[in-house]
Amino acid sequence: MSETLRTDYLLIGFSVSSWFAACALREEDSSGRILAVTEEDRVYSRPLLSYVLGNRSNGMTYFGDVVSENPAEVWWNCAVEKLDGPGKWVELADGRRVAFGKALVATGGVPVFPPIPGAEGGGVFTFTRVDDMERMAAYIDQHDVEDILVLGGGFIGLKTCEALIALNKRITLVELAPRLLINMMDQTGSRYLEKALLKEGVEVVLEDTVERFERKENELCSSVLKSGRSLPHRLAVVAIGVRPNISWLAGSGLQVNRGVLVNAHQETSCPGVFAAGDVAETMNMITGERSVVAVWPEAVAQGKVAGKNMAGKHKTYQGSLPLNAVEVGETAIVSAGLVNPPDNGTYVTIIREERDVYQKLVLKEDRIVGLIFVGDIEKAGIYVHLIRHRIPVDSFREKLLQPDFGIISLPLNFRKHMVEGAGIEV
C-alpha cells in the first residue's frame, strides 16, 4: 500500500451531480476538504455535446464560473479503480489510496455497445463524452463525411440527429422498435417526430437494426441491415443506450441493481457513501418503482440532496421525474413522467391535437402524472410543476390543455403562492 491521503469529502466523477453536491457541501461546511477525482480532463456539460457537434454552441463549458468558483479541489485524469465502502477508502489508477469521511459516487453512465461485426477500425462512434465528440468531429472533417447512419432512435440518437441535421448531413436513423423515442413518446407523438425528421431529410428505418458494418480499404463504407438492406455511409453512431457506470464497484460493498441503489437521502447501502446522477437508481416519483433517470434536472436535484446529507443536514429527495426535450427543425418535443400508461382503467388521457400541435396529459385519479407536448411547448413548465407537486386538478380539469390555460386557471391559493415568489402580490 502506497501513501494514503485523506479528505473529508470525496466526489468520484466530476460532472453536474458532483458540482451541485460540492456547492451544497460548501454551503453547509465552510472548511472541510472537498476532493473530486475524475478520469476526464475537464468539466463540461454532457448534454451540450450534441450542440457543440452541431456548431450550435461555442463550447462545452457550463456554468462559466465553474472553474473560478469551484469549491472542490479536482484531480483530473484520475480514475478510481476500486472503492471500499465500509473501509471508506478508494484506490486510484496510479495506486494511491484516498481515505474519505463521506463519498459521493457520481460516475455517470457508459454507452451500451453491442458486438457488431465490422465495428472495429474507425468510423463507428458512441456519443456520450467530449472525446467521442471531438474524435467524431475530426473524422467528419478528415473523411468529408456526407452520409451518416445513426443506430438507435432513443433520446441520444435523436440528439445526435439534431446535431447532424445542423451540419447538413444526410442521415439514416435505424431503430429496432416500431417507433422512435419509445420511452418518452406515445404512438402519435412518435408520428409527429417522424414527420419532423422527414421534413429535415432524415430517413427513418424502423423495426430493423445493423447486422454488420462493411469496410472498403479498411474504411467504413456501408452497413447491412437485418432486413438485408444495404446503406452506404462513411460514419456510424451507435446510440442504443446508456447504462450506469458501476462495473468498477464490484466488491465495494455497495448494493447495486441496474444502478447504485440509494435511499431518499441519496445514501447507498453503505453508510457514508452516497450516489447521485446517472449512476444512481432512485425512486420514480410517478410509479414508485426504482429506476435510473438519467436527466440533467434530476442530476442537479440528487447532487444537492447528496451534498446536504453528506454535510450532515437532513434533506429528502422527492423522487425522480423523467423529463426530456428534443427539437427537430422547427418542431419542439417534450415529455415528462409517465406517457405510456398501462391500459388498466386507472389512467385517463386528455389530448389536444392540431396540425402542428400535439398535447397529451396522462392523469391518474385527480393528478397529472405525465405529458407529451409537440409543437406548442411554452406552457409545459406549468404542467410539469403540477406533476412534481402532485397538485389535484379536479377543480380545473376542464381547462387543462385549453389554449388559454395558465396560472389563472389554478386555484387561488396555489396561484398566489406561485406568483407571489419573493414578496410579490397577486
Partner 1 sequence: MKHIKIHEEYCIGCRLCEINCLVKHSHTGKIIKAFKEESPRAFPRIRVEEEGCLSFALQCRHCEDAPCVENCMTGAMRRDKENATVLCDEEKCVGCWMCIMSCPCGVIKREKKTRRIASKCDLCGGVDEPVCVAHCPNEALTYE
**Contact footprint for partner 1 (CB under 8 A):** 16, 20, 45-48, 51, 56-58, 61-66, 296-297, 300, 323, 325, 327, 332, 334, 336, 377-382, 384-385, 404, 406-409, 418-419, 421-426
Cβ–Cβ under 8 Å, residues 341 and 370: yes
CB of 333 to partner 1, least distance (A): 9
Q: Which is nearer to partner 1, 253 or 297 (CB)?
A: 297
Q: Which is nearer to partner 1, 51 or 75 (CB)?
A: 51
| Cell representation of residue 336 | 415528462
Which H or E run contains 369? strand 367-374
Long-range contacts of 43-48 (CB under 8 A, 24+ apart): 43/14, 43/15, 43/19, 43/67, 43/74, 44/15, 44/130, 45/16, 46/15, 46/16, 46/108, 46/128, 46/129, 47/159, 47/296
CB of 405 to partner 1, least distance (A): 9
CB of 179 to partner 1, least distance (A): 22
**282: burial class by Cβ within 10 Å (0-12, 13-18, 19+)?**
buried
Long-range contacts of 414-421 (CB under 8 A, 24+ apart): 418/385
Cβ–Cβ under 8 Å, residues 148 and 160: no
Q: Which is nearer to partner 1, 249 or 410 (CB)?
A: 410
Question: How do the residues of the chain divide into helix, strand and coil, expressed in percent and rounded to 5?
Answer: 25, 30, 45
DSSP, collapsed to helix, strand or coil, labels residue 265 as coil
Q: Which is nearer to partner 1, 351 or 426 (CB)?
A: 426
Q: Which is nearer to partner 1, 136 or 380 (CB)?
A: 380
CB of 101 to partner 1, least distance (A): 26
CB of 5 to partner 1, least distance (A): 31
Q: Which is nearer to partner 1, 98 or 130 (CB)?
A: 130
What is the biggest distance separating any 2 CA atoms in the chain, rounded to whole angstroms?
Answer: 71
Residues near 186 by beta carbon (within 8 Å), at least 6 away in sequence: 339, 340, 360, 372
Q: Which is nearer to partner 1, 96 or 379 (CB)?
A: 379
Q: Which is nearer to partner 1, 134 or 327 (CB)?
A: 327
Q: Which is nearer to partner 1, 10 or 371 (CB)?
A: 371
CA triple 55-57-62, angle to 5 deg: 150
CB of 21 to partner 1, least distance (A): 13
CB of 27 to partner 1, least distance (A): 13
Which three-class secondary structure string do you get for 2-62?
A: CCEEEEEEEEECCCHHHHHHHHHHHHHCCCCCEEEECCCCCCCCHHHHHHHHCCCCCCCCC
What is the rounded CA–CA span in Å between residue 394 and residue 405? 14
CB of 327 to partner 1, least distance (A): 6
CB of 193 to partner 1, least distance (A): 15
CB of 145 to partner 1, least distance (A): 22
**What is the number of H-type helices and E-type strands within the chain?**
8, 25
Q: Which is nearer to partner 1, 344 or 413 (CB)?
A: 413
